[in-house]
């Protein structure tokens, strides 16, 4: 086990692993689920690689005016158990403007 793996295990108390784009690498126009309910998730990183504004929320009520804004071309959010409590394990959704599917990157870290 490497030093980083040991650090993370000590921090969270259990071994962990990461999964890229666990649900989808694309956000369809409108609302797309990007994370499933997962009580073993410690952290999720969501990056907007597209050229349009997106919004992120742990609710299907995410919209053009509701949710965490993810600015175009690199806007991101880091959701952690340390900062956001149990909501990190909730279902998460992204809203994207109308048009073509938008490219996102999602990395979730969960207990092994």
**CB–CB of 17/110 below 8 Å?**
yes
Distance separating alpha carbons of residues 28 and 36, to the nearest angstrom: 16
Q: What is the pLDDT of residue 98?
A: 78
Print pLDDT tens along the chain (112 aa): 789 889 989 989 999 999 999 999 888 889 999 999 999 999 999 999 999 999 999 999 999 999 999 999 999 999 999 999 999 999 999 999 877 788 999 999 999 9
> pTM of this prediction?
0.92
Distance separating alpha carbons of residues 104 and 89, to the nearest angstrom: 19
Distance separating alpha carbons of residues 109 and 78, to the nearest angstrom: 11
Q: What is the pLDDT of residue 109?
A: 96
Beta bridge partners of 104: 48
Q: What is the pLDDT of residue 102?
A: 87
Residues 17-111, CATH architecture = Sandwich (2.60)
Q: What is the pLDDT of residue 101?
A: 84
Residue 10's contacts (CB-CB under 8 Å, 6 or more residues apart) are none
């Amino acid at each position: 086990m490497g030093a980083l793996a040991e650090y993370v295990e000590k921090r969270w108390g259990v071994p962990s692993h990461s999964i890229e784009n666990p649900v989808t690498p694309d956000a369809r126009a409108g609302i797309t689920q990007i994370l499933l309910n997962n009580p073993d998730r410690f952290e999720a990183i969501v990056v907007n690689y597209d050229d349009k504004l997106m919004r992120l929320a742990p609710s299907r009520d995410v919209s053009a005016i509701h949710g965490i804004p993810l600015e175009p071309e690199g806007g991101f959010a880091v959701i952690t158990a340390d900062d956001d409590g149990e909501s990190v394990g909730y279902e998460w959704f992204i809203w994207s403007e109308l048009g073509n599917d938008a490219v996102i990157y999602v990395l979730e870290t969960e207990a092994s």
